[in-house]
């Protein structure tokens, strides 16, 4: 890293170009047993059902409210889309921010019994700090919802809203009854920020190729390839979840955060650094 800030070094990176991208789920915080935002959506259904009691008689909401995990695991894409639309759209962007903030203040992870925002990997916060100290600008490039992550990214990671690239739905500009302008969240996907969508999202929101990129799954492959294809000094890293005792151990067989054998082979071939959570991280969480 030092070489990239030394003008005399062939690895020097101009200050304006010092851009680093991090995936979030599984790279900077826990993504098991389910993505945090999916848990939010499922738990949010109960809040909606208080205002609209009829929901409990309508699928897929009935199943969500029953708490039957096995039945939920069988949801089809249209089922999931209906749940996402009901919980992530239809409100103003400010209302959504309040809803997420309220939930984060009370929700607890089923295994760790702590707020989700405490399940952040301490070594990654340290890496971010090191990059910042060397003049790098840090972006999230996450498959998670851009508006969801923006609610807490500044407080938890020091990443401001304008540096969050995420899956993004459209908004619609309009006026409330008092004639005040507002932006309402729409059920229309503008950017699916996963796999090929990651470099595409980086171009749309940042317009620069990152110098370093961090991920943990097949969803990050294209972002790492795109990062590596630039000139000069490059750093590509993947977190490997191999620590069932302290966090989780999962890999090619996991639906969430799949780290396929092909990805491991590609990492070796292309010189991407694979971090073993078990062997390389002394401390995973700040609360340990």
- Interface residues toward a copy of itself, by CB under 8 A: 16, 19, 93, 146-147, 150, 154, 160-162, 164, 168, 170-174, 180-183, 190-191, 196-197, 199-200, 203-208, 222, 225-226, 229
Residue 13 CB neighbours (<10 A)? 22
Q: Which is nearer to a copy of itself, 59 or 176 (CB)?
A: 176
Which region holds residue 90: left if phi is over 0, alpha if psi is between -120 and 50, else beta? left
Tracing tokens 């301490």 back to the chain, one arrives at 122
Closest separation between CB of residue 256 and a copy of itself, Å?
Answer: 23
Residue number with CB closer to a copy of itself (53 or 207): 207
Phi, psi of 7 (to 5 degrees): -60, -25
Name the residue nearer to a copy of itself (CB basis): 64 or 223.
Answer: 223
CA distance 88 to 77: 16
Distance CA 17, CA 269 (A): 26
Output Rg (C-alpha) for the chain, integer angstroms.
20
**Nearest to a copy of itself of 61, 139 (CB atom):** 139
Cβ(163)–Cβ(19) below 8 Å:
no
Shortest CB 238 distance to a copy of itself, Å: 17
Burial (CB count within 10 angstroms: exposed 0-12, middle 13-18, buried 19+), residue 264: middle
Nearest to 238 by CA among 248, 229, 247, 225: 225
Q: Which is nearer to a copy of itself, 111 or 172 (CB)?
A: 172
We find the least distance from the C-beta atom of residue 162 to a copy of itself, in angstroms, to be 5
CB 53, min distance to a copy of itself, A: 33
Of residues 57 and 94, the one with the C-beta less far from a copy of itself: 94
CB of 226 to a copy of itself, least distance (A): 5
Shortest distance, position 170 Cβ to a copy of itself, whole Å: 7
Cα gap 219→212, rounded to integer Å: 16
């Amino acid at each position: 890293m030092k070489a990239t800030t030394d003008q005399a070094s062939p690895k020097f990176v101009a200050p304006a170009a010092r851009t680093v991208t991090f995936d979030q789920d599984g790279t900077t915080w826990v993504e098991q047993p389910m993505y945090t935002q999916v848990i939010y959506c499922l738990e949010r259904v109960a809040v909606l059902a208080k205002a609209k009691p009829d929901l409990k008689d309508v699928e897929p909401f009935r199943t969500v409210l029953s708490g039957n995990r096995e039945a939920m695991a069988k949801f089809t894409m249209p089922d999931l889309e209906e749940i996402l639309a009901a919980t992530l759209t239809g409100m103003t962007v400010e209302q959504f921010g309040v809803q997420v903030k309220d939930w984060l203040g009370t929700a607890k992870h089923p295994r760790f019994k702590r707020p989700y925002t405490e399940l952040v990997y301490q070594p990654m916060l340290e890496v971010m700090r090191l990059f910042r100290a060397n003049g790098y600008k840090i972006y999230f490039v996450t498959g998670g919802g851009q508006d969801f992550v923006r609610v807490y990214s500044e407080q938890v990671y020091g990443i401001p809203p304008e540096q969050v690239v995420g899956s993004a739905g459209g908004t619609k500009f309009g006026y409330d009854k008092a004639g005040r302008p507002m932006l309402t969240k729409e059920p229309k996907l503008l950017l699916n920020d996963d796999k090929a969508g990651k470099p595409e999202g980086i171009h749309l929101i940042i317009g620069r190729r990152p110098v370093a990129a961090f991920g943990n799954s097949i969803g990050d492959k294209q972002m790492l390839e795109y990062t590596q294809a630039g000139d000069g000094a490059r750093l590509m890293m993947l977190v490997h979840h191999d620590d069932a005792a302290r966090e989780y151990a999962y890999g090619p067989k996991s639906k969430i955060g799949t780290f396929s054998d092909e990805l491991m082979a590609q990492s070796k071939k292309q010189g991407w650094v694979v971090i073993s959570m078990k062997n390389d991280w002394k401390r995973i969480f700040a609360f340990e």
